Amino acid sequence: MAERLVEVRNLKKYYSNPGGTVYAVDDVSFTIDKGETLGIVGESGCGKTTTGKAIIRLIEPTAGEVLFEGRDIYRMNRRELNKVRKDMQIIFQDPFSSLNPRRTVFETIAEPLKHHKIIPGATKLDIERRVLELMETVGLARRLINTYPHELDGGRRQRIGIARALAVEPKFIVCDEPVSALDVSIQAQILNLLKELQQDRNLTFIFVTHNLAVVNYFSDNIVVMYLGKVVEKAPTEELFEHPEHPYTKALLSAILIPEAGANQERIQLRGELSSPIDPEDECRFAKRCNYYCKDCEKGAPPLVEISPGHFVACHRIGPGRNTLKLTAENVIESRQ
């Protein structure tokens, strides 16, 4: 039996502004077992990064629970949270702005070692040896130990971020689009490195990205988000072979097929993008959906399990309803 490491229950994060309330994350729930990778995908503004940051309490949630090894981190005081911090780390999206420009590679990686006292009674030499070990682990040359972030390229800077996260020997890491700012060849190197580290250290990941090709390679399970809501979640292979939600189908149709002459059918989304500010009580994808029906206006659809581990939030899918099939009637209905 898999051991559950993280459980997210009804997580919400709202922001107030003069125009109303922004529903950045709205009633999100999922679980992650130890050693697994959960991919969170969706277009910009869907709430995936906010979800990742709220899970490790970099930002405070509006409501909900996050259980880490059975303990709710939102009920922890500062002292308790500081102890669990070393088990929950993050690799940020931008490998330049997430590093202090006034600190060398050594100082950046050594800081969490000193703060959490990972090596009790460590001397400066002990810290230096550990930093060099971490640099070797992530593929950074020893000669770079006294360099500054501006002297390095994006791939090396991201490796510093990975080494910093690994320094405290965590169990769980949120990877917030860690390869989106890198060249394709460097992306492959970083992804392979993370895979190797996961196998060697039994790490558990949340992998936040908008690139479905990347998440297909890296993740065991996938959560698809749209305007703060989870619209579909399933094991990776199941999601790619049997996508059910209209938004998921559109995302998958945008993946490039690297074959000459491949006949690739794209699903184009039309209509108006709903506002995340005080959204109406309806399916948030309704205005762009090719399968629109009158039921879409009757509140947000619940997540329904249509097969083991495969959940979909769509009014056309559920008990007594068929899998979506796009017909002329659907198209006409969606335009009315």
In 139-228, alpha helices (H): 154-166, 184-201, 212-218
Q: Band of the pLDDT at 335, cuts 50, 70, 90?
A: very low
Question: Per-residue pLDDT tens for 231-283?
Answer: 999 999 999 999 999 999 999 988 777 666 666 677 878 888 888 899 988 89
In the chain, alpha helices (H): 48-55, 78-85, 105-115, 124-138, 154-166, 184-201, 212-218, 236-241, 246-253, 328-335
Question: Per-residue pLDDT tens for 117-135?
Answer: 888 888 999 999 999 999 9
| Domains of the chain listed by start with CATH number | 4-226 (3.40.50.300), 246-335 (no CATH)
Rounded CA gap, 199 and 35, in Å? 8
Rounded CA gap, 131 and 139, in Å? 12
Q: What's the confidence (pLDDT) of residue 295?
A: 85
The length of the chain, given as a count of residues = 336
Task: Indicate the pTM of the whole model.
Answer: 0.89
Q: Band of the pLDDT at 319, cuts 50, 70, 90?
A: low
% the chain with pLDDT above 70: 92
* Nearest CA among 116, 164, 171, 165 for reference residue 6: 171
Q: For residue 12, what is the enclosing H or E element?
A: strand 4-17
Average pLDDT value over all residues in the chain:
88
Q: At 286, is the secondary structure helix, strand, or coil?
A: helix
